Structure 1
Amino acid sequence: MVDWFLVDQTIAQLGFYLTTTSQLVLIFLTIFYVRKDLGAYKRLIVLFAAMGIAFASIEFVMYPVLHSFNAGYVFYTTNRPLNVSNETLTVLLAVYTALYSITISLLAVQFVYRYIAVFHSEGLRFFKGWYFLLTIVYSYWFGFEWALGLYKLDEADEYAIEYMRQELMDVYQVNISQVPCVINLIYQNLPNSTDTFIRWRCVMCTLNMTFIMIVQYGVMIFCGSHLYFEMEEKLKMVSDQERKLHKQIFKTLMLQITTPTIVLFSPIIYIISVPFFNIEVSVPTGVFLSVFTLYPALDAFIIMYVITDYRKAILKILRRSGSGSVTHPTRYTTSRTDT
């Protein structure tokens, strides 16, 4: 029998090491080596990288487990860092989901930035100075909304605990009464009856998650489609250097649509929609959570591969390291246009 907790833990550890390493390298290169004028996009890269590290770190510390069973799913952890209470750990589970929501929201903001840079460059002022706080407020609001919805609307009650009790014992050998958890259960049987009723607070939690994903994915599709169909004509009016940079970042964004669609959005859509069908299913969907922490690493690799400045910086560092000379940050020739 497969030890799914061990599988989740192994993937989470891999995600932590890959993400922290790649994102720290990305932050280092962005701050000290990549001197081409990327404008506020550099701050977006650093902010997204920092959130990726936080996301992978909390996964590494808590090892949360997600399991789908029939009309619901349970989200719990058996780890107890610093011997904190179950209530504190339940809050941390909600914080973990907030980091997921912040991650997809920051992705949407990157698309908005690139769309404005190409079509409405005067609007770039909203990404400069204290206006950059708007980006933080936007992404953190959706993180707060997701976490609060999960924490309050999926609060485990007696019926939900009993519904999941035997399943968790059979699959993970875990006593659900002893671990911090939240449970989304769409249907509930009436006592001494075959009739069921809908648990509307759990439905509201699912609708809240769906709304947030639709907003972020919708923003990415809207901005991405306009960039795809109209960017070539618009870039005829800028310099060759700016045109090349815009195209590199656009290629990065296109990969940032495809990859999160597979890694971030599709698994969540499956997890939250299956309970509505109320079919017999027992799936250790926790492996999806572990894979989430791999996305920031994939994103870092995409940026460092596609954008020329990062490749040049890495090659320069490797050449200097190989020759034994001391590496110093190098300022590349820059364009003064905020891209």
Structure 2
Amino acid sequence: MFNWEDILLTVQITSFFIAIINNSILINLIINHSPKDIGAYKYLMLLISIFEVIYAVLDLTVQPIFHSFGATFTLIVNTTNSGLDKRVWEILAVVYCGFYGSSMAIFSIHYAYRYWVLIGKERNLSWFKGRKVLFWLIIPFSIGLIWAVVGYFPCYPRASTNDYLRESVLMKLGLNIDRIVYFAPYFYEKNEFGQNVIYWPSFVGIMLDSLSINLSLLVVGYYGVKCWNKMSRLLSTTSIDHQNIQNQLFYSLVAQTVIPIFLMHIPALTMFMFSFLEMDAGHLSGFVSMSIAMFPALDPIPTILIISNYRDAIKRFVLIRYQKLGKTKLCRCLIFKKKSIHPSVSSSNVL
């Protein structure tokens, strides 16, 4: 009988291996089978896949447990049986927070690029040529840094947070609060008179995090709508092949964006809202840990399936492997034995 922690670990390990396989396949397809006129967008696509590989490694290493209780939503790293110093785990957890926060910013760059391609804005597109493409890494890095700083300072464990979470963490997760690493925005705490007071650093920190994510989503929505409006008008004057590849790139990007929104940001936002309202989400917070782990495993799939060049390359690979398998001695032997077992089938058909 699996307990909750076993199920979570199974999901995290399975998602890690699927993420490595799917992103490795996609990286190979992007490098070797991308459309000829894809341009610098190939490097932006590689950026997403590399990002998701690193994210999957971080998720399996940290194995975050998200726990909602009252006025807190906590990221927990179980270091009970670890031989590493707790400081190391704190750094890894902070880096994990940074990667989580920067995920949507990477997609916002893609949407801006796709729109500039559609309208032929060469001045902006020139910033994606050669080493200049590294300039755009500043945007997700900056947002990731905000998340890392907020995770470490306003959400760092305090005596009041320890006392508030101790019983809940022990009862629901079986963990000793003094032997784990955790970060929690504790929004309300009691003063010396027993009254609830707002802990403003947590509020300000979470507001900064929310603002950075919302800004990325705003850019995604703004350029996404503009792309949608421009595609039908501008692409009607181009060749059918060019229209098809632009449509495929756009729709695969939309699908890739929807996955982290529903698996990462909406669940986390919901848990933060529970914390603001001092509501205990209970076991629902456990699903957040699982859905976030699944993000890098599922996100490459739309691109592999939607872009025809990649889809055809997969079909050719499978067909070649199938044909080679059919020529092996073992396969020929099995076919021969099957015919030997049913020799009368052909003669009965003749009669």
Normalising to structure 1: TM-score of the pair? 0.90
Helix, strand or coil: the match of 1:269?
helix
Helix, strand or coil: the match of 1:37?
helix
Q: Which structure has the larger Rg over C-alpha atoms? A: 2
Which amino acid in structure 2 is aligned with residue 189 of structure 1?
A: K
Q: Distance in 2 between matches of 1:101 and 1:227?
A: 25
Q: Which moved more, 1:286-295 or 1:63-72?
A: 286-295
For residue 3 of structure 1, report the CA deviation from its aligned partner. 2.9
For residue 284 of structure 1, report the CA deviation from its aligned partner. 5.4
Q: Which moved more, 1:163-172 or 1:184-193?
A: 184-193
Q: Distance in 2 between matches of 1:125 and 1:219?
A: 20
Sequence identity (%): 21
Bigger RCO (CA 8 Å, 6+ sep): 1
Which amino acid in structure 2 is aligned with residue 150 of structure 1?
A: G
Distance verdict in 2 for CA 1:182–1:307, change over 3 Å: same
CA RMSD, Structure 1 to Structure 2 (Å): 2.0
> Hey, what does 1:297 align to over in structure 2?
297
For residue 115 of structure 1, report the CA deviation from its aligned partner. 1.1
Are residue 130 (structure 1) and residue 131 (structure 2) matched?
yes
Which amino acid in structure 2 is aligned with residue 261 of structure 1?
A: I
Q: Which moved more, 1:161-170 or 1:42-51?
A: 42-51
Provide, for residues 250-288 of structure 1, a one-character-per-residue CA deviation record: whole Å limited to 9, x for no partner: 211232343333112211211222211123443452431
> Hey, what does 2:217 align to over in structure 1?
217
For residue 81 of structure 1, report the CA deviation from its aligned partner. 9.1
Provide, for residues 164-202 of structure 1, a one-character-per-residue CA deviation record: whole Å limited to 9, x for no partner: 000000011100111111121100112342x21100011
> Hey, what does 1:110 align to over in structure 2?
110
- Contact 2:79-2:86 at 8 Å conserved across structures: no
For residue 248 of structure 1, report the CA deviation from its aligned partner. 0.9
> Hey, what does 1:248 align to over in structure 2?
248
Provide, for residues 263-316 of structure 1, a one-character-per-residue CA deviation record: whole Å limited to 9, x for no partner: 122112112222111234434524313322322332211001110000111111
> Hey, what does 1:337 align to over in structure 2?
none
Task: Give the structure with the higher percent helix.
Answer: 2
Q: Distance in 2 between matches of 1:240 and 1:213?
A: 36
- Contact 2:274-2:280 at 8 Å conserved across structures: no
Q: Distance in 2 between matches of 1:237 and 1:70?
A: 57
Are residue 189 (structure 1) and residue 184 (structure 2) matched?
no
- Contact 2:15-2:293 at 8 Å conserved across structures: yes
Distance verdict in 2 for CA 1:257–1:281, change over 3 Å: closer
Q: Distance in 1 between matches of 2:312 and 2:244?
A: 15
Helix, strand or coil: the match of 2:38?
coil
Distance verdict in 2 for CA 1:242–1:280, change over 3 Å: closer
Are residue 178 (structure 1) and residue 179 (structure 2) matched?
yes
For residue 120 of structure 1, report the CA deviation from its aligned partner. 3.8
Q: Distance in 2 between matches of 1:96 and 1:228?
A: 33
Q: Distance in 2 between matches of 1:280 and 1:181?
A: 18
- Contact 2:108-2:217 at 8 Å conserved across structures: yes
Q: Which moved more, 1:105-114 or 1:282-291?
A: 282-291
Provide, for residues 86-134 of structure 1, a one-character-per-residue CA deviation record: whole Å limited to 9, x for no partner: 1121111111111112222111111111111112431211111121012
> Hey, what does 2:166 align to over in structure 1?
165
- Contact 1:102-1:140 at 8 Å conserved across structures: yes
> Hey, what does 2:53 align to over in structure 1?
53
For residue 324 of structure 1, report the CA deviation from its aligned partner. 2.4
Distance verdict in 2 for CA 1:140–1:216, change over 3 Å: same
Distance verdict in 2 for CA 1:32–1:304, change over 3 Å: same
- Contact 2:71-2:279 at 8 Å conserved across structures: yes
Are residue 311 (structure 1) and residue 311 (structure 2) matched?
yes
- Contact 2:68-2:280 at 8 Å conserved across structures: no
For residue 48 of structure 1, report the CA deviation from its aligned partner. 0.8
- Contact 1:69-1:283 at 8 Å conserved across structures: no
> Hey, what does 1:336 align to over in structure 2?
none
- Residues 73-92 of structure 1 mapped to structure 2, 5 A cutoff: 73-79=73-79, 83-92=83-92
- Residues 142-153 of structure 1 mapped to structure 2, 5 A cutoff: 142-153=143-154
> Hey, what does 1:98 align to over in structure 2?
98
For residue 85 of structure 1, report the CA deviation from its aligned partner. 1.1
Helix, strand or coil: the match of 1:184?
coil
Helix, strand or coil: the match of 1:83?
coil
- Contact 1:70-1:278 at 8 Å conserved across structures: yes
For residue 239 of structure 1, report the CA deviation from its aligned partner. 2.4
> Hey, what does 1:333 align to over in structure 2?
none
Q: Which moved more, 1:274-283 or 1:314-323?
A: 274-283
